[in-house]
Amino acid sequence: MKHNIAFDPAIAVAAPSLEVALIECDIVNAPTSDALWAEVEAASARIATGYTIEQIRHRPAINATRAAYKALGKEPNRYRPSAEALCRRAVQGKGLYRTLTVIDIVNIVSMLSGHSIGAFDADRIEGASLTLGVGRAGEPYEAIGRGLLNIESLPVYRDACGGIGTPTSDNERTALRPDTCHLLVTFNMYGESECGNREAVAMLADLLVRHAAATDLHTEYYRI
């Protein structure tokens, strides 16, 4: 099933420069190999030696995501975009958790580009259409590894059953698992990356092919 994205008008007001790359492919989501983990550690070291904690939030892509949060009424220092949180861990020397292939691929590209990337088990998404809207007060949302998350005023992707992803955390319902074989990625570009937005998307595709045996890979770009 090929998916598509529609935008809520509130997102257009808060993030008028937003571009999303929607990527779909078949994958093998095995535990992270030593070769891939070496790339994770190299990316972490690059961030750790290239930025201070204070500089992280001023990186162009991260700063643009934070600006969208503020425009929607969400405090980004309390609900950090995932790319920012990953980079802060690297700079603080805390390291990343070694998990599954696609999760670690996304972490590499998020750190190097500054973009927060959603990755979902496509077979667990209800319907073909996703809508990027704004979280509502009291809207139920079980974040991966975090339990219930207050997504009020956060950008949120919804399928036919409800929220599946925000730049802060994706939802347990559509989370990647070892048996995930159909991948859907929302590559959320609220601003320009230092490495270039198209280049960052190409980096993700290359890693998916090399480490997750990606086939039948399709990318569509959406602008507000």
Q: Is 71 exposed, middle or buried (0-12, 13-18, 19+ CB in 10 A)?
A: middle
CATH T-level fold of 4-223: Phenylalanyl-tRNA Synthetase; Chain B, domain 3 (3.50.40)
Query: What's the 3-state SS for 166-193?
Result: CCCCEEHHHCCCCCCCEEEEEEEECCCC
Task: Return the pLDDT at 30.
Answer: 97
Where does the pLDDT of residue 1 fall: very low under 50, low under 70, confident under 90, or very high at 90 and above?
confident
Question: Pick from 221, 183, 178: which is nearest to 202 by CA?
Answer: 221
Per residue in 53-79, pLDDT (tens digit) is 999 999 999 999 999 999 999 999 999
pLDDT tens for residues 139-152? Answer: 999 999 999 999 99
pLDDT at residue 224 in the model: 87
Listed by start position, the domains of the chain span 4-223
> Taking 90 as the threshold, does the pLDDT of residue 187 lie above it?
yes
